[in-house]
Amino acid sequence: MARATDLGPFRVRGVLGEGGTSIVFEVEDEGGLVRALKVQSATDVSTKERARFLVEAERAGRVSHPALVPIEASGVLPDGRAYLVMPRLDGETLAARVVRGGLGVAEACALLEDLAAGLACLHAAGLVHRDVKPENVMLVPSPRPRAVLLDFGIARASDEARTTTTLEGRVRGTPAYMAPERFFGAEASVATDVYELAVTLYVMLAATLPWPDDASASDRLDPRPLAHARADVPRVLSDVIARALSTRPETRPATVASFADTVRAAADFALPTRPRATVDVAPATTPPLPPRRRLPLLAALALLPLLGLPLLPLSRAAPSTPPTPNATATTAATATATAATATAAAIAIATAAPPTVAAPHPHPRPLRVSPPPAPSPRAPSPPPPASVWFEDRR
Pairwise CA distance, residues 73 & 37, whole Å = 10
At a CB cut-off of 8 Å and minimum separation 6, what does 58 contact?
Answer: 74
- What is each CA distance from 92 to 98, 107, 137, 146, 160, in whole angstroms? 10, 15, 9, 11, 33
Considering the candidates 29, 90, 131, 280, report the single residue annotated as catalytic.
131
CB 249 within 8 A of CB 181: yes
CB 60 within 8 A of CB 43: no
CB 338 within 8 A of CB 309: yes
What is the DSSP annotation of 8-48? TTEEEEEEEEE-SSEEEEEEE-TTS-EEEEEEES-TT--HH
Cα 28–31–33 angle (5° rounding)? Answer: 45
Among 101, 92, 57, CA closest to 75: 57
Q: Is 44 a catalytic residue?
A: no
Pairwise CA distance, residues 309 & 330, whole Å = 17
CA quadruple 78, 81, 82, 84: dihedral positive or negative? negative
Sheet holding 82-87, edge to edge: 6-7, 10-18, 22-28, 34-40, 82-87, 73-76
Pairwise CA distance, residues 176 & 182, whole Å = 12
Cα 22–24–25 angle (5° rounding)? Answer: 135
What is the DSSP annotation of 71-113? --EEEE-TTS-EEEEEE---SEEHHHHHHT-PPPHHHHHHHHH
DSSP state of 275: -
Q: Coil, strand, or helix at residue 220?
A: helix
DSSP state of 171: B
Pairwise CA distance, residues 217 & 386, whole Å = 105
By annotation, the residues acting in catalysis are 131
